Amino acid sequence: MARRAHLLLLAAPLLSSALKVKLGGLAPPPPAKTHFDLIVIGGGSGGLVASKAAANLGKSVAVFDFVKPSPQGTTWGLGGTCVNVGCIPKKLMHQAAQLGEARADSAYYGWEIAEEEHDWETMVAGVQNYVKSMNFAYRTQCMTNDVTYIDAFATFVDTHKLEATTKAGATTEYTADQFVVCTGGRPRYLDIPGAKEHCITSDDLFSLAAPPGNTLVVGASYVALECAGFLHGLGFETTVLVRSVPLRGFDEQMAGLVVDHMRELGVEFVEGATPTSVERLDDGRKRVVWRGADGAEASAEFDTVLLAVGRDAFTHKLGLDKVGVDVNPKSGKLPVRDETTSAPHVFAIGDVVDGEALDPPSALTELTPVAIQAGRLLASRLYGGGTRRMDYQMVPTTVFTPLEYGCVGLTEEAAIAAYGDDNVEVYHQYFTPLEWRVVTSARRKAQEGYAKLIVHSADANRVVGLHITGPNAGEMVQGFAVAMRCGATKDDFDATVGIHPTCVEMLTTMDITKRSGESPKVKAC
């Protein structure tokens, strides 16, 4: 109890900020102004950056942000998915699980740390206090940058006109010369009995009041595997129900390594399974029935069922047909060219952009830094005389599973499809982080990290893909992403002196190709 009280005391300043947000301490009065140069629909990272950039260029800007509660009643403040129910709380809970791993490792380094169970409530309080402090900061930034923030649901009623509805049901019409749609996406629910009534999604998990207990994660997306990873790391029995392939769109070999590692840790995977119903039992547990690839049915009981089967763009209620904006009927996403939709005065950034319709297509439009970059560049082009366009290729990212996976550029499959097998050389190597070597034989599997460089041999050996699993994978990939955007070749990598001892240094010394058939196992330095 003393430890929990100490942690809550440390969080008091954040609680104070959160309380101000909850009580509306910074809520401005309803704006008298109803016409703006730019209206941004959606208060996520990309929309807020675009709005502030436009305001700083002298334009009158309003941001409309409205959070519809999840089927379980969860809602949140200004800042969008990443801040409230995405990247930020996910990474913090991943860190909580990693600290548990580090505590177990520390015994092999001479530390004697008393066994102490993880306290879910303390973690959630700390995470949510930080999230609410960010909500507060975003509202402050809107005020200090002369951006009008309006907490209301906006929908188009005419070419340049919106109708905004507050939580209380009051409506006001607003007009603007130009609009940016960046309403993000929401988790998809399965169309089966009990899904919405008895399941949660990532919209609910990060503020869950009570520990989730024995958890079934349905899906194999990066959200599914990240959540399953940290839940298991926090001590909860975790099962993952996989219908098709894990980490679709990522490199298949790397996805397999991530899943294999999770299996070794004790996460159970049920492959080729499609849920058919979820039933709440008298004791509160959920009975899930699924059908296997062979058609046979199976079932099990869980304390919590987490759906992570994809996200749908939140565009269907925006009245986009009133302004002539084309919408992908399957995904709800908006085809764009340089962020411009089919209506020349309506733009789109972030999760609502149809990556498949880009030229060339991109699977990474749903990343927060992509939305931020697109929003900043769009405002510069519209109002600052800028000419730079958003480049949706060569975007780095990381999957924060227990064994982190970072990548930039093409997958091995995509490179071969684009250039032909004869023109692609794959350099690869396993490695064991030095900090794990003391505990490898006792706790950790050797050869746990793996990396590969995908090289276009017919184009001066240009490195077109980089993939790595290991601790701090995102930190490793970020710098190489800059080099690869500049056209770095394998010779450039080889000519670079590595930092010793680090995991990433071996990317500068890799000399074994898959084509050679030689073993990529760890070598001495």
Q: Are strands 304-307 and 215-218 parallel, antiparallel or unpaired?
A: parallel
Annotated active-site residue 500? The verdict is yes
What pTM does this model have? Answer: 0.92
Contact 407, 250 (CB under 8 A): yes
pLDDT at 5: 45
Question: Residue 410: what are its φ and ψ, rounded to 5°?
Answer: -80, 150
Residue with tokens 């069922």: 305
3 state DSSP class of 19? helix
3 state DSSP class of 402? coil
pLDDT at 29: 57
Tell me which residues of the chain have a pLDDT lower than 50.
1-2, 5, 8-25
| Separation of alpha carbons 235 and 243, rounded Å | 25
CA neighbor of 221 nearest in space, from 106, 77, 363: 363
| Separation of alpha carbons 405 and 232, rounded Å | 18
Half-sphere exposure at residue 56, Cβ-oriented, CA atoms within 13 angstroms: 13
pLDDT at 446: 59
3 state DSSP class of 187? strand
* DSSP state letters, 60-126: -EEEE---PPPTT-----TBHHHHHHSHHHHHHHHHHHHHHHHHHHHGGGT---------HHHHHHH
Question: Residue 40: what are its φ and ψ, rounded to 5°?
Answer: -105, 125
Q: Which of 160, 232, 316, 500 is catalytic?
A: 500
CA neighbor of 333 nearest in space, from 310, 355, 364, 308: 355
Contact 97, 234 (CB under 8 A): yes
| Separation of alpha carbons 198 and 190, rounded Å | 12
pLDDT at 525: 54
| H-helix or E-strand spanning residue 313 | strand 311-313
Residue 77 burial by Cβ neighbours in a 10 Å radius (0-12, 13-18, 19+): buried
Per-residue DSSP letter, 10: H
The residue type at 305? V
| Separation of alpha carbons 508 and 396, rounded Å | 18
Per-residue DSSP letter, 389: P
Residue with tokens 């894990």: 246
Q: What string of H, E and C letters represents the secondary structure of 231-278?
A: HHHCCCCEEEEECCCCCCCCCHHHHHHHHHHHHHHCCEEEECCEEEEE
Contact 46, 40 (CB under 8 A): no
Contact 93, 206 (CB under 8 A): yes
Question: Residue 414: what are its φ and ψ, rounded to 5°?
Answer: -70, -35
| Separation of alpha carbons 272 and 250, rounded Å | 19
Domains of the chain: 2-187+312-383 (3.50.50.60), 195-309 (3.50.50.60), 404-508 (3.30.390.30)
2-14 burial, b at 16+ Cβ within 10 Å, e below that, comes to eeeeeeeeebeeb
pLDDT at 17: 43
Query: Which residues, 6+ apart, have CB-to-CB distance to 279 below 8 Å?
Result: 193, 194, 198, 286, 287, 288, 289
